[in-house]
Every structure is written in C-alpha cells, then in structure tokens.
Chains A and B, each alone.
Chain A
C-alpha cells in the first residue's frame, strides 16, 4: 500500500499506542518511543516493521508512541493508520489476509 496522506490511529492512554504514518520516499523511517523500551523496544520495532511489510508499505515516515501496548494492539494501530492514510479503513478490509 502507498501512504497517500498523513494519518493517525490509537491514543496515549496506558496499554495503547499512537501510530502516525506520513508519506515518505526513502524506505521506512521509524521513530519509536516507548514506556517499556528497555525490555520490549526490539519486539515493538519488529512488530511494527513486520506489520508494515505485510501491508506492502515500503515508503513511509512512521511514528509510534507506545504506552505499553500489547502486540495485538500495536498491529491494530499500525494497520488502522495505514488504511486511513489510503482512505480505505471503513470497508472491505482484508481480514485474515494482509491483516492478520
């Protein structure tokens, strides 16, 4: 998927993560901050990058402000932000396909 416009998903509440995607040209530029960075920073980074890869996002600026979200929440926020940026978040989501 191509990031067409800036989009955001998630909140800054505890156990959530706020994900922002913006158009980019030079691969994935990830800015990550997390309340559990020392223990889970690597896993969060991996989850975000894997999710983007599954969605076929190759170029984007991605900002993740993590407040201790579980992996399932991180995935949901990244996916929602990406689909929103393409104006495709409301219907016909490929559940079980690119979203899994």
Chain B
C-alpha cells in the first residue's frame, strides 16, 4: 500500500493495526493505553544491589532466550556496555533469539554483527545503525527486519507497549550501590542520561552497569534506584576519548561557513526570530557553525534566545554562560564542555527522550521549538529527507531527533552541500524517507536556497529580506548536471529494515540491495 510520501509498503507488514504513514499530526487526539512493566518487589531492605558480574545480574533478572534487551547511546562510539552485555548473555549464558532495542547503535558495536550472522541476535530496534552492523543487516542477515525509530518515536513505542523491554541496561558513569545513576563524576562521563529514562521506567528489569561506584546517595539521580534491580561494576564502561570529544570546534571549512551564514540569514528573516525564540541545531559542520552567525544577528537586533534543546555541545554552553540564551535543556551531550556544564551551570538542565520528542505525550519540547537546523544525507524534490541509508542503499545513519524536531518546529532548515563527491545530495527520490517532506521548510545548500512551496509565508519572508532562492527542482538539476543522473538502485524483495514514522505508522522500508557488478555482462 502506498503511503503519504509515495512509498510502497508491503501489506504483509500491516498487521496488528499497523498503518502506513498518513501525514503530519495524523494521530493527534487519539487515545492510547499505556503499557506497564511487570516488576519485582524489593520490600525487604538490602545493604547493596551490587552483584558480582553481568552474568549474575542476567541470571537474577531471569534472562532467557527470546528476550529484548535495551541500551542507550550516551557513550556514543566509545560504548563498551552493549558488547559486554551481549557477550555475557550469548557467550557465557548461551542465550539466543535475542532482540536489541537501543536508542542508537554505532561502529563501536561492530562485534554484534557476528551475533547477527550466527543467528543469536534476531532483532534490532534502534535509531542509528552503522558500520558492520549496518552492512550485515543490509545484506539481509538479521532474521527479522530491523525497526528504525526516531528518538521521540522510541519512548512513544515503549509507552504504547509496542516495544516490551525485558531487561534494560543502564550504562552509568557513576552509580551508588542501590542504582542511583548520574552521567557525571566518574571516569567515563557523558553528562545527560536522557535517553535511558523511559527504559528504566518501562522495563521489567533494570541493570545498572558502571565503572565508578560512589557513596550512597548519588544525587540528583538521572536514573533512580527505585527502578533498579541490580548494579554491576565493570573495569570500564567506555572509552572516554570517544564518548565526548575535547571540544566541538566550529568548522573553518569555507563551504560550511558560507552555508551556515545563509542559515542564519534565513532565520533572521522570519517572524519567529524575536526575543525569547527557541532553537536546536545539529553538530555537523554547517549546522553548528550557524550558531556563530546567529549570534551576530541576535546582537544586531538586541535579542536573546529563550531556550535551546538537543544534543548540546560547547558553543551553545558558551552562549548560555554569556547570557545570550536563557535555558539549555539536553537529552545528550557531545563534548566535555557540555558534559561538565549540565546541572552545574545555572539554567542548564537534563530531560528525558520522551520530554524531548515523544509525539504521544502532552508537552514535548520539540512542539514548542521555533527553529531547528538539521543535516541530510539526501533530500528529494518533495523535501523528503534521508538520514539513514547511503545513496548506495546501505544502512549507515540515524534518524535520531531529526523527524521529531522537523515535525514539531515552526521552521525546519536543512543544510547540506549540493553534492558530496559524486553523490547528489539533492535528488529526485531519496533512497529512504526518514523525515517526511511536509515537515521540512527550507533547504540551504552551497549552490542556493530553496523553500518548500507548502510555506508561502516563508517565501515571502525571504523575498522581503532580499535573500535569493530557487526551486528545489533547480537545485536537483544543478546537482545532476555536476555529477550525472544516478542509476536507480536495484533491490530484492526482502525487507531488511522498517522505518517507522514518529507516530508509529510506517514511513518507508529498506530492502536488500542488489549490488552492481561491473564485470557482469549486461
């Protein structure tokens, strides 16, 4: 069945009330029955919940074949916990048919690809998938299609009971013996632990994994002892160098700077750019550099930013300290400046993924967002964005909060170079739709700006400000004139991943790619 972004969704996937994507805000006003976990009572006082090993913890939580384990990705590419837990479950306990439900997965988790190939891991639910895992899933080696969700879509699915977590593993930079966790104070600090919060509340069992046990009580706790079954102390939960970079530096690349400046110009031309406006930006080169130019426009107009959300890094913390932004609220931190600031600098707060972006709750921050500046792997002439699959059809990205912030914000700006090497970023049809075009408002490239025709009001703003813009078709034509029109990818029927829209409908599917072999006669 074809959905609202023109993607053919196999009927076989449309079971148990699953629907295809119908457009923005389709589920608004509907009622849901929230799921609840089945948890063990810990009525009798104990001195400690620390157990000897991951295996002990798994046994205590009744780990068995077919279970779903959840993880969060604050340790980013430095994470050791996913691999440690899966090795304990599979290599030591001999478990199989396991599903990993992670907030995101990256190349740190390459070893999991082996468990997929061996058939020990049969399901993956995640926002991001990269590296070897992306390759084996793309090659059709995972037994069930991977389910890709946005950061807001995941807590929605958990609360609706669509994902049932048997055991949640919380990678905690510090924990006390009862399981009160914080993202700071240890040797592998990550700052915010926002993505782990829904997991801890909705999982049947919760195991904290830490490399820094601190005296009770570890306060204020991001994940609270009231939800924790067991605490495991390991040598190291991650590589600090890869958890948070020293400091996210603003790009010096002239192309990035040129695009960033145009992003700021567009923002400053809209009526939303006024005292107290709200803002989120990615950490990619041009997105982050937009901060710099935006600050100049704020000074010129004599206005301040009300609040900023997101994954946060140094430049935004700097603006908070200078008093140019009122409050910063993050679900994740990307560099040490942000890690060391959260809950320390006045007005720098932590939030859960649900608070951040869940479309089914009653007050997610994204819904009050004025501007979001985001990157893209591809964007097509319908303004549909792909941040999941490479233009070769292989899984190597993450929707993250992209679809959530795009849908919630008043003005969503995508910033990307027109081509990368020989890949046309602006194209006729994206490989996979991860953010639907009805949520995307402006595209800024190094070859020009295009505004979504659904937003005549913004077109008028740009015209008034004298900012030149063209149609997205013109940008696509320019891209193809540079790199040539790409051949259509060839696919097999097998679906390797389901791309779930943030509201739970199916936005797109990724099929198994048929690679082109130049030595085969055609």
A residues at B contact (CB < 8 Å):
14-15, 30, 32, 35-45, 67-71
From B105-113, B247-255, B301-309, B512-520, the one touching the partner chain is B512-520
Q: Are A36 and B391 in contact (CB under 8 A)?
A: yes
A36–B482 touching, CB < 8 Å: no
Q: Nearest B residue to A73 by beta-carbon distance?
A: B422
Name which residue of chain B comes closest to A16, CB basis. Answer: B421
Which residue of the partner chain, among B421, B515, B519, contacts A68 with CB atoms under 8 Å?
B421
> Complex: how many Å from CA A39 to CA B513?
12
Where chain B touches its partner, the secondary structure class is loop
Q: Which residues of the other chain, B, contact A45 by a CB distance below 8 angstroms?
A: 518
Count, chain B residues at interface, CB 8 A: 20
**What are 9 A-B contacts with C-beta separation under 8 Å?**
A14-B421, A32-B519, A38-B391, A38-B515, A39-B487, A42-B487, A43-B484, A44-B518, A70-B422
Beyond A15-B422, A68-B423, A70-B422, whether A38 also contacts B482 by CB under 8 A is no
Q: A36-B391, A38-B392, A40-B486 are in contact. List 7 more A-B contacts (CB 8 A).
A: A36-B392, A36-B421, A40-B483, A40-B487, A41-B518, A42-B518, A70-B422
* Contacts across chains A and B counted by CB atoms under 8 Å: 61
Q: Distance in Å from the Cβ of B198 to the closest Cβ of chain A? A: 37
Q: Contacts of A15 on B, CB cut-off 8 Å?
A: 421-422
Chain B residues positioned under 8 Å from A67 (CB to CB): 421
CA distance in complex: A30, B513 (Å)? 24
Report B's interface with A, CB cutoff 8 A: 391-393, 420-423, 482-484, 486-487, 489-490, 513, 515-516, 518-519, 522
Report A-chain residues with C-beta under 8 Å of the C-beta of B516: 37-38, 41-42
B515 to chain A, nearest CB (A): 6
A45-B518, A70-B483, A71-B484 known; A38 vs B421 contact (CB < 8 Å): no
Residues of chain A within 8 A of B483, CB atoms compared: 40, 70
**Minimum CB distance partner of B424 in chain A:** A39
**Chain B proximity of A75: nearest CB distance (Å):** 13
**Listed residue (A30, A32, A39, A70) with the most chain B CB atoms within 10 angstroms of its CB:** A39
Give B96 Cβ to nearest chain A Cβ, in Å.
33
Across the interface, do B393 and A40 meet the contact criterion of CB distance under 8 Å? no
Question: Which residues from A are CB-within-8-Å of B482?
Answer: 70
8 closest cross-chain pairs (CB), A and B: A68-B421, A39-B486, A68-B422, A41-B516, A38-B392, A32-B518, A36-B422, A38-B516
Query: In this complex, what residue of A is CB-closest to B485?
Result: A43
A residues less than 8 Å from B393 (CB atoms): 38
A36 touches B489 (CB 8 A): no
| A36 in contact with B518 (CB, 8 Å) | no
If the complex has contacts A67-B421, A70-B482, A71-B484, are A39 and B518 also in contact, measured as CB distance less than 8 A?
no
A30 interface neighbour in B484, B489, B490, B518, Cβ under 8 Å: B518
Residue of B at shortest CB range from A67?
B421
Taking a contact as CB atoms closer than 8 A, the residue among B420, B489, B519, B522 that contacts A39 in the complex is: B489
In the complex, which residues of chain B have a beta carbon less than 8 angstroms from the beta carbon of A71? 484
